[in-house]
Structure 1
Amino acid sequence: MQTLAPLAPPRPEPAAGTTVRDRRPTRWLCWLVPAMVTGVVVAVRAGTPGPWRDELATWSAAHRTVPQIVELGRHIDGVTVPYYLLAHVMAGFGDSILVLRLPSMLAATATAAVTALLARRLWDPRAAFVAGLLVAAMPVVSRYGQEARGYALAALFAVTATLFLLRALGSGRWWDWLAYATSVLFLGWSHQLALLLLLGHAVTVAVIKRRALFAWLAGVAVAATGVLPFTLLGVGQHAAQLDWLSPAEPADLADVAGTIFLSGVIGGAVCALALMALRGRDRRASLLFVSALLPVLTLYAIDQLVTPMFVGRYLVFVVPLLCALAGRALADLRLPLGLTAVLVLAAIGLPLQEDIRRTHSGSDYRQAAAMIHAQSRPGDGIIYAPRAGWHFTDIALRYYLGDDVPKDVLLQSDEVANASLWATECAGPAACLAGTDRVWTLSGDDLETGRRAGSTDQLTPAQQAVLNGSFRQMSQARVDGFTLALFVRRASR
């Protein structure tokens, strides 16, 4: 196969009467402005939505010691240990969820800048400017830019690794390959499934400069040495962590744009624009599209053939690549028309942006905690049901109420002692409830079916027998996602 020229051809000399200084503002404003806009958009009410279950897991892990986080990874979330270590560092600056979300906010801001830099390298500053603003307009960028998990970081390092790959292919310099390897390392630390991006990178290297394949493999190998220990920690954990998933259907693959972008209209529009960028046999655009497409198809294949894991948020890292392509397509229009298209997509996403800033899930942990706090008395106990579920209601109440949470009357050993995200309950509920006259139950709705929880139907038969025999139910209340009930001990005869 004939070796092709590097992706970024030498730029022409300035025309007569035009100085390099005249062009510099365009070259840096095309990424700086989108970054500033994205930073403002992501920061708006970033602390308003309460943490949802995944963020509660982050909060729990962040407040453990480093050895405890590593030990947690031996039992669950082994591949997430690098992110938990980052969260542990952030927890030193404050206890609020906003502090834990700050790395994601900064990552989303940087993603807009790097997406623009990628589009500028591939095409021109106009494509860069529009591509960066598209990132700012995406509701999915706000959603995961305001979440204390690694998805926004994965998006940042996916586009950064792609940019450094193109630089390394164009220059062949060892430090560019080192920068690429470092980006891939951070990509794997952020979210290991994002390493599916390497499939597209392999194709890019094979097409653009096949003789650089050894250098690329060396860079990937360097990154792998840093990712592999956490991969080994997570071996065997996927079945327990993804037991709530069912295999995807063909319709899920057909609707993947809406799933990734959180909006079928916005996702469809961006993907359509990305396809438009392929016209004219632009090999650079085609390779970028392949880098975005292969991870989607591969994850679906893994879902069908290995284990269910076709989840939209696992693919958020392809969003900036598609935005870069869409920016290329819009750059073919006059700039006012391209910007108008961005504004239209932003306007379509406004209702979703509002929803994102209200809640990140259908479970109102904050209201449940507020109701218990307002009505509880000293000496009250609480039973969390189901303890082994994914609601993490015990962690949520500690987040909101701190030391004011009612006594966990069935607690035998907590999640830290268990090196887990779940506590262990005592085997004899009658003995554990002795001396407690008022007991709350907090039950989460079924996450798979959405069936509402009753006051005791999620408890074990032994727990139900004690409550029904020795207590009487005084009240029951509903908040989104939960049922709360108060039981008072029957008077002895």
Structure 2
Amino acid sequence: MKLSRHLHWALPALITALVVSYRAGDPGPWRDEMASWSAATRTVPQIFAMGRHIDGVLVPYYLFLHAWIDGFGDSVIAMRVPSIIAMSATAAIVALLARRWWGNAAGLLGGLLFAIVPAVSRYGQEIRGYAFATLFATLATLVLAIALDRSRWWTWSGYGLCVALAGLSHLLSLLVLAGHAVLVLVAVRRDGRWRALWWFLAAGAGIGAMLPLTAGGLGQQSAQLNWLKAADLTTLAEFPGNLFLVPAVGGAVAILAVTALQRGRATPAAALWAAVLLPVGLLYAYDHGGAPIFVARYLLFCVPLLCALAGAGLTVVRLPVALAAVLVLGAAGLPKQQEIRRDHSSWDYRAAAEVIRDNQAAGDGIVYAPRDGWQVVDLGLAYYLRDRTPRDLMLVADEVTEGSLWATECTDAAKCLGTTKRIWVVAADNIDPYFRATATNQLTSGEKAALKSYDQPAFWRVGGFTITLFVRP
């Protein structure tokens, strides 16, 4: 079957856009997305001030989202549109990458495989920089292949720009450069050492361009990722399933990617495999030698590279059979695709906010518990309640003032709660160790003592939250 000149990349991009955007606004933002919203709705100086304390490597994405919100608003779907666009574009790049070495059929199949991967939908609906990092790391790989074949100043300039954009999107996406080094070494054996010099200069320029905006976050990982435990061999064995979100899909794509090594052009396949395995190995090694950091989504850029390889592997059979195999893998991921459209985490901020909005009265106060955890309860409720949020009784300095994601609370609960007649306590389930929140088990001892004289006429249990109304007799 002869494929249209553009069908092999346009069709995967279109299908990815349709799949990822389907019900993309239904799941409420989870805690990381709430952090993105909180950061991006600050002023530019406030974003930089926050980056000096936390999320320094994400400052470029927060600045982009800040500008995007100014133009398109901060509804859930509006803030997710950039990631949807980035993932759709990545599907086209996957197809072009596979086509470059294995032909149109490999490009079409690789792009379609990328479209049906549940992780693509999940992080294509994420108000974070993962989709952009995936796009630019994949594009950098394609542009490098072009530059190694046609060494021109503009191809190397384009490569350096892609490297910079990948690093600005997510610093760890630069681990793909380890695999790029393998591609360069192959080209050096074929075309001489000048290719290595051009690559070194272009990659160095890209890294140098992005460092000023991200260098502040280089030493923050131990504080930000203190919830992680060191990875072990089990973590490594489960990596494909965690990366693709469905072990069966991840395993099948990996097996198909291995078959690409047996094709006529095994050298580029081996180089792409290096661009997958070396970043995984390097991150795993740093996890053990530095601080725990081995998180599957940080290596999301490996998915398009594996899909390109799997597309090449599928060309060993006739195109109708290969397309049927893609459909079977898509069907295997359907339960996860449906789950993604329901929620992105166990905390339903929207449901908690609705309880407050529907039952509050004038003069109500509110207490968030815990205030210093990763549940970011106050940010989640503020997103939905806006100016209808009850008065924050324990607040001394908010997140913006602190240049952080956490506010500072007063130490004298009795004084801060004062004579408030009705107080809402919104308590989130604990993360590690997990336990269910009750009306008071997430409160400080001072808050518990101050609320002893209150009655508890009503409480609600919704989406990971226990919400209790305390009323002074």
Deviation string 1:245-272 (CA, Å, 9 cap, x unpaired) is 0111211101110010001100000001
State the match for 2:260 in structure 1: 277
State the match for 2:21 in structure 1: 43
Write the distance in 2 (CA, Å) between the matches of 1:257 and 1:61: 31
Alignment of 1:248-287 (within 5 A): 248-280=231-263, 282-287=266-271
State the match for 1:216 in structure 2: 199
Runs of at least 4 residues of structure 1 off by over 6 A?
A: none
Deviation string 1:308-362 (CA, Å, 9 cap, x unpaired) is 1111111111100000000001122100011001000111111111100110011
Write the distance in 2 (CA, Å) between the matches of 1:481 and 1:276: 44
Deviation (angstroms), 1:480: 2.2
State the match for 2:95 in structure 1: 116
Contact 1:477 1:485 in 2 (8 A): yes
Q: SS state of the match for residue 443, structure 1?
A: strand
Deviation (angstroms), 1:236: 2.7
**One-letter identity of the residue aligned with 1:103:** P
Deviation (angstroms), 1:435: 3.1
**One-letter identity of the residue aligned with 1:177:** W
**One-letter identity of the residue aligned with 1:89:** A
From 266, 274, 286, the counterpart of 1:302: 286
Which deviates the most, 65-74 or 233-242? 233-242
Deviation string 1:207-244 (CA, Å, 9 cap, x unpaired) is 22251111111111111122212342113311210011
Write the distance in 1 (CA, Å) between the matches of 2:96 and 2:219: 39
State the match for 2:119 in structure 1: 140
State the match for 1:26 in structure 2: 4
Write the distance in 2 (CA, Å) between the matches of 1:248 and 1:172: 40
Write the distance in 1 (CA, Å) between the matches of 2:233 and 2:266: 30
Write the distance in 1 (CA, Å) between the matches of 2:236 and 2:213: 29
State the match for 2:130 in structure 1: 151
State the match for 1:57 in structure 2: 35
**One-letter identity of the residue aligned with 1:226:** A
Contact 1:438 1:486 in 2 (8 A): yes
**One-letter identity of the residue aligned with 2:434:** G
Write the distance in 1 (CA, Å) between the matches of 2:284 and 2:33: 26
From 58, 63, 71, the counterpart of 2:49: 71
Deviation string 1:26-84 (CA, Å, 9 cap, x unpaired) is 22111011111111111100111000000000111111111111111011000000000
State the match for 1:359 in structure 2: 343
Alignment of 1:420-439 (within 5 A): 420-439=404-423
State the match for 2:221 in structure 1: 238
Deviation string 1:136-176 (CA, Å, 9 cap, x unpaired) is 11111000001100111111111100000000000111100
Deviation string 1:2-29 (CA, Å, 9 cap, x unpaired) is xxxxxxxxxxxxxxxxxxxx98x72211
State the match for 2:435 in structure 1: 451
State the match for 1:325 in structure 2: 309
Q: SS state of the match for residue 262, structure 2?
A: coil
State the match for 2:377 in structure 1: 393
State the match for 2:460 in structure 1: 477
Q: For structure 2, list consecutive stretches of 5 or more residues without a partner in the other structure.
A: none
From 387, 391, 407, the counterpart of 2:391: 407
From 293, 314, 318, the counterpart of 2:277: 293
State the match for 1:17 in structure 2: none
**One-letter identity of the residue aligned with 2:365:** G
**One-letter identity of the residue aligned with 1:137:** I
Answering whether residue 207 of structure 2 is matched by residue 229 of structure 1, we say no
Write the distance in 1 (CA, Å) between the matches of 2:215 and 2:157: 24
Q: SS state of the match for residue 439, structure 1?
A: strand
**One-letter identity of the residue aligned with 1:106:** I
Which deviates the most, 225-234 or 39-48? 225-234
Contact 1:473 1:486 in 2 (8 A): yes
Write the distance in 2 (CA, Å) between the matches of 1:465 and 1:399: 30
Write the distance in 2 (CA, Å) between the matches of 1:127 and 1:203: 22
Deviation (angstroms), 1:385: 0.8
Answering whether residue 128 of structure 2 is matched by residue 128 of structure 1, we say no
Write the distance in 1 (CA, Å) between the matches of 2:220 and 2:93: 34
**One-letter identity of the residue aligned with 2:369:** A
Deviation (angstroms), 1:434: 1.4
**One-letter identity of the residue aligned with 1:44:** Y
- Taking structure 2 as the reference length, the TM-score comes to 0.97
- Taking structure 1 as the reference length, the TM-score comes to 0.93
State the match for 1:379 in structure 2: 363
Write the distance in 2 (CA, Å) between the matches of 1:235 and 1:317: 20
**One-letter identity of the residue aligned with 2:469:** L
Write the distance in 2 (CA, Å) between the matches of 1:256 and 1:83: 26
Deviation (angstroms), 1:474: 2.2
Contact 2:90 2:134 in 1 (8 A): yes
Deviation string 1:74-132 (CA, Å, 9 cap, x unpaired) is 11000000000111011111120211111100001001001001011111001001111
State the match for 2:67 in structure 1: 89
Write the distance in 1 (CA, Å) between the matches of 2:228 and 2:176: 23
Deviation (angstroms), 1:449: 2.4
Contact 1:59 1:97 in 2 (8 A): no
**One-letter identity of the residue aligned with 1:309:** I
Deviation (angstroms), 1:379: 0.9
Report the identity percentage: 52
Which deviates the most, 322-331 or 364-373? 364-373
**One-letter identity of the residue aligned with 1:162:** T
Contact 2:57 2:170 in 1 (8 A): yes
**One-letter identity of the residue aligned with 1:467:** L
Q: SS state of the match for residue 486, structure 1?
A: strand
Structure with max Cα Rg: 1
Q: SS state of the match for residue 366, structure 2?
A: strand
Contact 1:440 1:486 in 2 (8 A): yes
State the match for 1:180 in structure 2: 159
Q: SS state of the match for residue 457, structure 2?
A: strand
Deviation string 1:253-306 (CA, Å, 9 cap, x unpaired) is 011100100011000000010011111471111111111111111111111111
Write the distance in 1 (CA, Å) between the matches of 2:180 and 2:28: 37
Q: For structure 1, list consecutive stretches of 5 or more residues without a partner in the other structure.
A: 1-21
